[in-house]
Amino acid sequence: MTRQDHATRIEKLLAAMMLGEKIGQLNMLTADLAVTGPGMPADYMAELKKGRLGSMLNLYGVPLMRQVQRVAVEETRLGIPLFFGYDVVHGHRTVFPIPLAEAGAFDPELWEKTARIAAIEAAAEGLTLTFAPMIDVARDPRWGRIAESAGEDTWLTCRLAEAKVKGFQGKNLAAQDAIAATAKHLAGYGAVMAGREYAQVELSERAFHEIYLPPFRAAVAAGAAAIMPAFTDLAGVPLTAHVGILRDTVRARWGFDGVMISDYNAIAELMAHGIAGDLAEAAALALKAGVDVDMMATAYTRGLPVALERGLVAMSDIDACVRRVLALKAALGLFDDPYRAQAPVMTAERWTEHRAVARDAARRSIVLLVNRNDRLPIASPPARVALLGPLGDIAPEMLGPWSGAGRGEEMVSYAAGLRAAWPQSRIDAARGVEVEGEARSGIKPALDLARAADLVVLALGELRWMSGEAGSRAKPGLPGLQNEFARAVLDLGRPVVVLLSSGRPLMVPWLFERAEAVLACWYLGSEAGHAVADVVTGRWNPSARLPVTWPVEVGQIPIFYSRLPTGRPIDPTFRYSSKYIDMPNEPMFAFGHGLSYTRFAYSNLRAAPAQLREKDTLAVEVDVANEGRAAGEETVLLFVRDPVASVSRPVLELKGMAKVFLAPGERRSVRLSLACDAFAILDAKLAPRLEPGALEIYVGPAARAEALLKTSVKLVA
Ligand code: BGC
């Protein structure tokens, strides 16, 4: 069917619809509340039969989907099919690393591939839309949702946004293995005050436009079918009702004509925010801003008829939303095939293939934080291994905060992974302590195992529910008695490798100072244990980097590399300079930090042309040499700085990345290109422009001044 055919069909439907049916298309309900049948409460069925339901969330599985879709198509007056949305955030049945971990791979091809696989599996279970990618820039490890994000950097988040949208949606939304992507949560949610979930956001307009909004523009440019506005506010206006951003910027300026789906109950919550007196006002505010679908609030079904009567909204406002919802259904091919009967069938080969990608994604996401005395890798299998700590043998925890359709029992625990890698070794697992709680009885037996072991693997961290939505922590360290236990283990003087599992950077400075080897394992998904074993044994040389600055202490937050210069840079000898008097300014680990089993050296940075004009592309080249003994992959990062502009610019901004694989002793020249508009800035009035003058180019592995090579070019008018 052509676009024109769709448009004609939509207009015909619209003309035939009664008010209740129109509003019904804007209503999304969940299948998992007050369950009375197989995942489907009877009253939602009743709503559906009356034509008062347009889409559902939290329902998957072909038999159930078919049963519900059949009612929509055969038992409603107009037979309009539903679309089915779900949080397929980091994989569906095959679970990939959490986004914060996967971001550390700095690898758009991988990001696209894992989203593609997630889409195939989700589509095979009848899903047609995902509430992903989550592309909130996140700079506060107290905020649990940092786990779902790509971390602190805007440019990196933009690249992840594009890759994920492409991966989920494929080339054609109507393809049976494609699902619609929802870019969420627009925008600024990551800046909730003090990292407290759902709290107030205090941002400058510049920060909003320069740091938080660009990933959404990138997602729109990549063709994202849907957008979810954030629960939170911007200068007192909740995004769910923000006309200036949703309607004037996203729809009018960017040309986004897809569907806006509210967050869960967010329209009704406009009352709690104190900007709507009742449900009718709340519904009117959201509708006027351009929110098409009301997730779980019944604010539209109950509030819109009243709002219409009061003259708060016009029928044309409602029609515009209905058109967009129907257009999405048409684009998904649902009018032609409501059951998407040709959706991919999951064969044994397909599962194996997906598992292999999950293993690769997981090992590419593990960051080697510390490796003193080349403690890692452990090349030959130790005779006796003590796998200690509460997270060593607990497969379901590998799922991470959003599990999709993942099943805990299908995850590979660290214990299972190490046992598979070292079949001849004796591996004794003991928790020692729990993640939470005060029980000490397990400590002594665990220490006895450590004493007898040739290698101790110590699996510490937080439980998966401690990050993700509503997982804010004011003290993001190791919970429970884990510090005490870890100290006791390290005191024994045995060789120890620490596996740290978390949805955020955990602040345990003492551990990083004392432990010989620490791996940031985040939550790695289905193949966690195998991936960790690949890294521990050296079968995989770790290449991941931190997509977020890792603070020493909570008091340093917010801390991120792309900060503005101060008039008084830190000077340890001068009191009146920008610093703390009780701790360093420096983080524990910089953005981009991540060790390898080999050593890479950078030299000979050059950039051309030296005089850059608006239409030019800058070619940046650097030589990278592998000076160590292992083959490995290096991620080369390119940062820029505009040292003198009409507004103060950050000391570093990431603008490029490249990968190079080098054998020991090998040297190669790596080339990155940068279109001139990478240097565009928002001027004092927030208008984009290129300002002539010197530009500094930095290349290296991480956002640490001493790790970067520098050159400069000149932008000429
Ligand atoms: C979250 C969204 C999610 C939705 C549906 C909300 O609470 O903020 O990110 O997509 O629930 O599960």
Residue 466, strand partner residues: none
Tell how far the Cα of 661 is from the centroid of ligand 1, in angstroms.
Answer: 39
pLDDT > 70 fraction of the chain, expressed in percent and rounded: 98
Looking at residue 41, what is its pLDDT? Answer: 58
- 190-219 pLDDT, tens per residue? 999 999 999 999 999 999 999 999 999 999
CA distance 387 to 482: 14
Cβ atoms of 131 and 179 within 8 Å: the answer is no
Considering the chain, what is the average pLDDT of its residues? 96
Q: Is the CB of 402 under 6 A from ligand 1?
A: no
Residue to mutate, 33, 87, 227, 259, ligand 1, most ligand atoms under 8 Å from C-beta: 87
Residues tagged active-site: 263
Query: Residue 32, SS3?
Result: coil
Tell how far the Cα of 318 is from the centroid of ligand 1, in angstroms.
Answer: 24
Checking DSSP bridges between strand 27-30 and strand 294-295, what pairing results, if any? parallel
Looking at residue 34, what is its pLDDT? Answer: 40
Tell how far the Cα of 57 is from the centroid of ligand 1, in angstroms.
Answer: 10
**What does the chain come to in residues?**
717
Which residue, by CA, sits nearest to atom 6 of ligand 1?
Answer: 264
Tell how far the Cα of 266 is from the centroid of ligand 1, in angstroms.
Answer: 10
CA distance 613 to 715: 6
Cβ atoms of 480 and 437 within 8 Å: the answer is yes
Looking at residue 40, what is its pLDDT? Answer: 52
Single-letter amino acid, residue 29: L
Which residue, by CA, sits nearest to atom 12 of ligand 1?
Answer: 87
Q: Is the CB of 184 under 6 A from ligand 1?
A: yes
Which residue, by CA, sits nearest to atom 10 of ligand 1?
Answer: 131
Tokens, residue 62: 């072909």
CA distance 528 to 499: 11
Q: Is the CB of 469 under 6 A from ligand 1?
A: yes
CA distance 703 to 591: 6
Determine the angle formed by the axes of helices 299-310 and 279-289, rounding to 10 degrees: 90
For the CA of 58, the nearest atom of ligand 1 = 12
How confident is residue 221, by pLDDT bands cut at 50, 70 and 90? very high
Residue to mutate, 231, 264, 269, ligand 1, most ligand atoms under 8 Å from C-beta: 264
Tell how far the Cα of 185 is from the centroid of ligand 1, in angstroms.
Answer: 9
Looking at residue 36, what is its pLDDT? Answer: 42
CA distance 546 to 520: 9
Q: Does domain 600-715 bear CATH number 2.60.40.10?
A: yes
Residue to mutate, 55, 98, 131, 185, ligand 1, most ligand atoms under 8 Å from C-beta: 131
H helix runs in 87-143, sequence order:
99-103, 108-124
Tokens, residue 573: 């000898």
Q: How far is CA 238 from CA 128, 258, 331, in A?
A: 28, 20, 30
CA distance 55 to 244: 27
Looking at residue 692, what is its pLDDT? Answer: 96
Cis peptide bond N-terminal to 688, omega within 30: no
Cβ atoms of 712 and 678 within 8 Å: the answer is no
Which residue, by CA, sits nearest to atom 7 of ligand 1?
Answer: 264
- 561-619 pLDDT, tens per residue? 999 999 999 999 999 999 999 999 999 999 999 999 999 999 999 999 999 999 999 99
Tell how far the Cα of 331 is from the centroid of ligand 1, in angstroms.
Answer: 23
Cis peptide bond N-terminal to 572, omega within 30: no
Query: Residue 641, SS3?
Result: strand
For the CA of 131, the nearest atom of ligand 1 = 10
**Domain segments of the chain: what residues?**
363-556, 600-715
CA distance 95 to 132: 14
* CB contact set of 256 (below 8 Å; sequence gap of 6+): 220, 227, 250
H helix runs in 364-481, sequence order:
414-421, 443-452
Tell how far the Cα of 316 is from the centroid of ligand 1, in angstroms.
Answer: 29
CA distance 690 to 678: 9
Cβ atoms of 435 and 390 within 8 Å: the answer is yes
- 290-344 pLDDT, tens per residue? 999 999 988 999 999 999 999 999 999 999 999 999 999 999 999 999 998 777 7
CA distance 663 to 2: 52
pLDDT > 90 fraction of the chain, expressed in percent and rounded: 94
Query: Residue 434 burial by CB count (10 A; 0-12/13-18/19+): exposed, middle or buried?
Result: middle
Which residue, by CA, sits nearest to atom 2 of ligand 1?
Answer: 263
Which residue, by CA, sits nearest to atom 5 of ligand 1?
Answer: 264
Question: Does the CA dihedral 573-575-578-583 come out positive or negative?
Answer: positive
For the CA of 85, the nearest atom of ligand 1 = 5
- 80-119 pLDDT, tens per residue? 999 999 999 999 999 999 999 999 999 999 999 999 999 9
Looking at residue 661, what is its pLDDT? Answer: 98
Reply yes or no on whether the pLDDT at 35 is more than 50. Answer: no
The strand order across the sheet containing 709-715 reads 611-612, 709-715, 693-700, 632-641, 653-662
Looking at residue 37, what is its pLDDT? Answer: 44
Which residue, by CA, sits nearest to atom 8 of ligand 1?
Answer: 263
- 457-475 pLDDT, tens per residue? 999 999 999 999 999 999 9
Looking at residue 496, what is its pLDDT? Answer: 98
Looking at residue 590, what is its pLDDT? Answer: 98
Pick one of 3.40.50.1700, 1.20.1630.10, 3.40.50.720, 1.20.1090.10 as the CATH number of 363-556.
3.40.50.1700
Tell how far the Cα of 295 is from the centroid of ligand 1, in angstroms.
Answer: 9
Determine the angle formed by the axes of helices 315-331 and 279-289, rounding to 10 degrees: 60
Q: Is the CB of 87 under 6 A from ligand 1?
A: yes
Q: Is the CB of 148 under 6 A from ligand 1?
A: no
Cβ atoms of 621 and 630 within 8 Å: the answer is no
- 625-641 pLDDT, tens per residue? 999 999 999 999 999 99
Cβ atoms of 401 and 523 within 8 Å: the answer is yes
Checking DSSP bridges between strand 83-86 and strand 55-57, what pairing results, if any? parallel
Q: Is the CB of 263 under 6 A from ligand 1?
A: yes
Tokens, residue 441: 């009885």
Q: Is the CB of 189 under 6 A from ligand 1?
A: no
Supply the pTM of this predicted model: 0.97
Tell how far the Cα of 147 is from the centroid of ligand 1, in angstroms.
Answer: 14
Checking DSSP bridges between strand 709-715 and strand 693-700, what pairing results, if any? antiparallel
